[in-house]
Chain A
Amino acid sequence: MAHDRTNAAPGALLEIRDLKVDLMTVRGIVYALDGVNLTVGAGEIHGVVGESGCGKSMTAKSILRLHDPRRCRTTGEILFEGRDLNRLSRREMEKVRGKRISMIFQDPMVSLNPLICVGEQIAETIRQHEGCSKGVSRQRTLQLLSQVGIMPPEKRYGQYPFELSGGLQQRVMIAIAIACNPALLIADEPTTALDVTIQAQVLELLKRLSGEMAMSILLITHNFGIVAEVCDRVSVMYAGRVVETADARTIFRNPCHPYTRGLIDSIPRPGARGEALHTIPGAPPQLYDRSDACPYMARCPHAAGVCDARPEAVEVEPGHIVSCHIAACHCVKGGMLHG
């Protein structure tokens, strides 16, 4: 069925439909994303989890079209504020980037200019997007610095990135990202390089900003603990697909996809010292060929004959969507999603 609706589902800010990205590499074509479906609600913190290489960063970069178009082939729709981002011209896309959707990464130093003081970098972003005067952008920067907890703002304004700790650098990135009140912030492993006590501070900050600014966050992480603590909803990715989506609470109380269960069970729990941990055998597949079978089949303890066919997405209870033949039979409480 053709979707020519360019409005996302009601209440959704971003709706990714059947996104496929093929990368041309020296070793051949990598089918990095193989039909991603993902919906982020307005004001929602939506987690994306999965092992490394499952396509989390690729999904994030595809939303902002940060790939080299000469080396990748993209199909599918990315509906955002009434438009399909995949169909925007380069100039139109420029206006979305940094203004309506912004992004932060694991390592802030990659994006910060080491030679310009942090206050100026934030002010520069504001001037670029809003064309305001130096005085106005400075005032706004001081306000932003205190909003993201960089105190005292007047002193910090003139400091250079290397003078700040990793935690403060990440706060500077957040200040730049929220400078234009974006509707969506994409945060790709924003706390992975930080110590756990600093991570806690940054996560608190993201949560607070999402509430204050009614800003949605697509929070990419490999840490289920972060999902439990800050996310409203979560999508679990495997081999370039979303295999399960649910409320954050539901994913822990009723994980249906065998992969989700495997991941959650492999986390060491307090009070079980010395017990053998659950493991998932093998490793995620290399994505050099596209197969019709369930991509998890080779590692799955429940795999059966039916798994040779690609599992459809099934809504097993309201808002809880799973792509697995076996889970669809055993977890179904609601109706089927696609007939």
Chain B
Amino acid sequence: MAENLRESPVIRAEHLKKYFPTDKEFLRKSSRVLKAVDDVSLSIEKGEIMGIVGESGCGKSTLGRVLLNLTPATDGKLFFQGDDITGLNPRAMKPYRPRMQMIFQNPFASFNPKQRIARALWEVGRVHGMSADAARARIGELMDMVHLPLEMLERSPAELSGGQLQRLAIARALVLNPDFIVADEPVSALDVSVQAQILNLIMELRARLHMTMLFISHEMTVVEHICDRVAVMYLGRIVETGPTEALFSNLMHPYAQALVSAIPRADPDEVKARIVLEGDIPSAIDLPAGCRFSSRCPRCTEECLRSEPELVDTGHGHLVACHHI
């Protein structure tokens, strides 16, 4: 049962794992596993935006889906507002569903092209038992919050721009006033001027509604701008995490440092030490023994090849998983 509700984080994960079986290969007896999420622990407090950042394939989206129990974890524990929801089947998840929502990267794919916007928003409320009047009032309120005119409800998705649709996707996620939102790369498909509009909207709504959000992105600058805390993932694991300011003012993990140094900065006068990582991201199927970053790490030593580093607290909640800290 719930512990003291006031103190429970909105979402808490302990040693979460998500493994996928891979296709059986020729001449191989057993199929191997792909470790998409491999021992991730995190918790997000009410009103907090937690950022997950890393390159493609590092397990960000899978983590988001596992946290919402949209796909069952292979191992680990999951708590939502203090309730243990580990392994709950869709039926048992039903009471929790309206309290968790998701926003996706591609706003054009998030809406049924044959349906008017009003219908798409309306359905969310009705399915979860809102009265027609309440749904109508709520939608009106939300259109105001995302700064779109009510007339837009009568349009179909094809008539709207990516930025407008992403605002509407946010409005739809808010219809039921959820306690937790996973936003999976919500600004990655947008032009920079539109991206700025959506980031401003998220910051505004957070201040107003005290939303709790997992914000997934592959862009360090975006995550740094809007998140309270950030976790950097590499091949299924968090390699560095901490409060945003503390983390970015003192990045310690060699991967996190390389990731930041690889961002082309829109400032020709910025002097920076470029750390160029050699080679490609290895697959999450055949992980190297020892540290999973060892194959690309400029600071790799023998110890790194032998044992996998644990996340260690360097103070003030800034955790790093590297032997050379």
Contacts and interface: CB of A to CB of B under 8 A. Distances in A.
Given A268-B224, A276-B203, A228 B259 contact: no
B210 to A, nearest CB: 15
Nearest to A203: B264
Contact of B192 (A222, A226, A253): A222
A21 to B, nearest CB: 22
Nearest to A277: B196
B55 interface: yes
Contacts of B193: 51, 262-263, 266, 279-280
A196 B55 contact: yes
A270 B200 contact: no
Given A168-B280, A200-B276, A283-B163, A268 B221 contact: yes
Interface in A203-250: 203-204, 222-230, 248-249
Given A228-B266, A283-B161, A273 B224 contact: yes
Contact of B225 (A197, A272, A280): A272
Contacts of B219: 196
B155 interface: no
Contacts of A203: 264
Given A273-B244, A280-B193, A165 B262 contact: no
B110 interface: no
B200 A279 contact: yes
Nearest to B265: A225
Contacts of A167: 280
Interface residues of B, number: 40
Interface in B223-273: 224-226, 244-245, 248, 258-259, 262-269
A107 to B, nearest CB: 14
Contact of B263 (A196, A264, A283): A196
A200 B244 contact: no
A63 to B, nearest CB: 24
A203 B261 CA distance: 14
Given A228-B265, A267-B192, A277 B225 contact: yes
A270 B281 contact: no
Contacts, number: 115
B43 interface: no
B22 interface: no
Indicate the member of B194, B219, B248, B267 with the most A CB atoms within 10 Å. B267
A46 to B, nearest CB: 15
Contacts of B191: 51-52, 222
B276 A263 contact: no
A154 B277 CA distance: 23
Given A266-B196, A270-B221, A273-B224, A198 B280 contact: yes
B235 to A, nearest CB: 13
Contacts of A92: none
A278 B219 CA distance: 18
A268 B262 contact: no
Contacts of B280: 165, 167-168, 198
A252 B219 CA distance: 21
Contacts of B268: 228-229, 248-249, 252-253
B17 interface: no
Nearest to A226: B264
B192 A263 contact: yes
B74 interface: no
Contacts of A230: 264
A301 to B, nearest CB: 13
Contacts of B274: 200
A227 B196 contact: no
B200 A197 contact: no
Indicate the member of A266, A268, A269 with the most B CB atoms within 10 Å. A268
A278 to B, nearest CB: 6
Contacts of A248: 268
A267 B266 contact: yes
Nearest to B204: A276
B197 interface: yes
A226 B192 CA distance: 14
Indicate the member of B225, B248, B266, B277 with the most A CB atoms within 10 Å. B266
A267 B244 CA distance: 18
Given A226-B264, A228-B264, A268-B225, 4 more contacts: A225-B266, A229-B265, A230-B264, A273-B226
23 contacts: A51-B192, A165-B281, A167-B280, A168-B280, A196-B218, A196-B259, A223-B264, A224-B266, A227-B266, A229-B265, A249-B268, A253-B268, A262-B193, A266-B196, A267-B196, A267-B266, A268-B199, A273-B225, A273-B226, A273-B245, A277-B225, A279-B200, A283-B161
Closest 9 CB pairs of A and B: A225-B264, A266-B196, A277-B196, A268-B225, A224-B266, A195-B55, A280-B193, A200-B262, A51-B191
